[in-house]
Amino acid sequence: MAVKIRLQRHGKKGKPFYWVVAADARAKRDGRYLEKIGTYNPNTNPATIQIKIDRAVDWLQNGAQPTDTARNLLSETGVLLKNHLVNGVRKGAHKEEDIEAKFAAWVSDKEARQEATKDKLDKNLADKKAKALAAEKEVSEKRKADALAAVAEAEAIETQAEANSEEATTEVEVVAEETAPAAEETAEEVEAVAEEAAPVAEEAQAEEETAEEVAAEVAEEVEAVAEEAPAEESSKEEDAEEATE
């Protein structure tokens, strides 16, 4: 039976999480497996890889073939190195007790390089945050400066409006002072004309009253004549009757 060391997908949509498994080459990717020998989480930075090194070496020694991605993970965790050292012991290149020492030295160097990479990533992240903060501060300062400029402009406009209002008030007062004597003279002239016209009005009123009195007297005379006329007519009728008799 051909055995493959490969990845089996787990996790949510858009956030995959993988198991590193030894499975029958004929089985489906996410189907049955023989043994789970590790995990791989690409969602972290750097990616998190956990491998059971000794079990992975045993599967490699028994002929299991890793896929390309699995090979990269095994190389990253030192499984391939340890498998190479085990093969070297079998060939007599070095002793078995040297395997752990050489592997431990490699792991120590690997951890130092990973730590340096992590520090570099942290520094880059801190620089990005500092730049973003500086840009945000610059924008905030610009907004503050614009707000202060707007307030200053509004105050300047208000001051100018007040100055214009005071100037207009002063002009009105000057015009009023200039026109006041003319208005007083006009009022005096009107009063003089009124005084001159008063006697004429009184005479006209007296003439009107005289005309009314004359009209009343004429009316009374007319009424008296009208009353005397019927008496004369009745006297003439009586004389005519006496003559007839």
Q: What is the pLDDT of residues 7-41, one digit of tens each?
A: 999 988 889 999 999 999 888 888 899 999 999 99
pLDDT grade for 70, boundaries at 50, 70 and 90? very high
The residues with which 7 forms a beta bridge, in sequence order, are: 20
Query: Does some domain include residue 138?
Result: no
Residue at 11 is within a domain: yes
Write down the pLDDT at residue 51: 93
Percent of all residues in the chain with a pLDDT value above 70, rounded to a whole number: 84
How many angstroms separate the CA atoms of 88 and 169, rounded? 108
pLDDT tens for each residue of 40-56: 999 988 889 999 999 99
Domain that holds residue 47: 1-94
Bridge partners, residue 8, by sequence? 19
Q: Does the structure show a pLDDT above 60 at 176? A: yes
Number of residues in the chain? 245
Contact 59, 37 (CB under 8 A): yes
Q: Is the dihedral of CA 181, 184, 186, 189 positive or negative?
A: negative
pLDDT at 74 over 90: yes
Do 24 and 3 meet the contact criterion of CB atoms below 8 Å apart?
yes
pLDDT score at 221: 75
The better pLDDT of the pair 110, 197 is held by: 110
pLDDT, residue 203, reads 72
Q: What's the pLDDT at 220?
A: 78
CA distances from 152 to 140, 141, 146, 147, 159 (A): 18, 16, 10, 9, 10
The pLDDT score that the predictor gives to residue 185 is: 72
The model's confidence at residue 109, banded by pLDDT at 50, 70 and 90, is: confident
Query: Has residue 194 been placed in a domain?
Result: no
234 — pLDDT class (breaks 50, 70, 90) = low
**What is the total count of domains within the chain?**
1
Q: Judge whether residue 77 has pLDDT over 60.
A: yes
| pTM score | 0.49
In a domain, 83, yes or no: yes
Which CATH number covers residue 33? 3.30.1320.10
- Supply the pLDDT for residue 20: 95
Flag whether 107 is in a domain.
Answer: no
Asked if residue 1 is part of any domain, the answer here is yes
Summary mean pLDDT of the chain: 82
pLDDT: which is higher, 159 or 239: 159
Asked, for residue 44, whether it belongs to a domain, the answer is yes
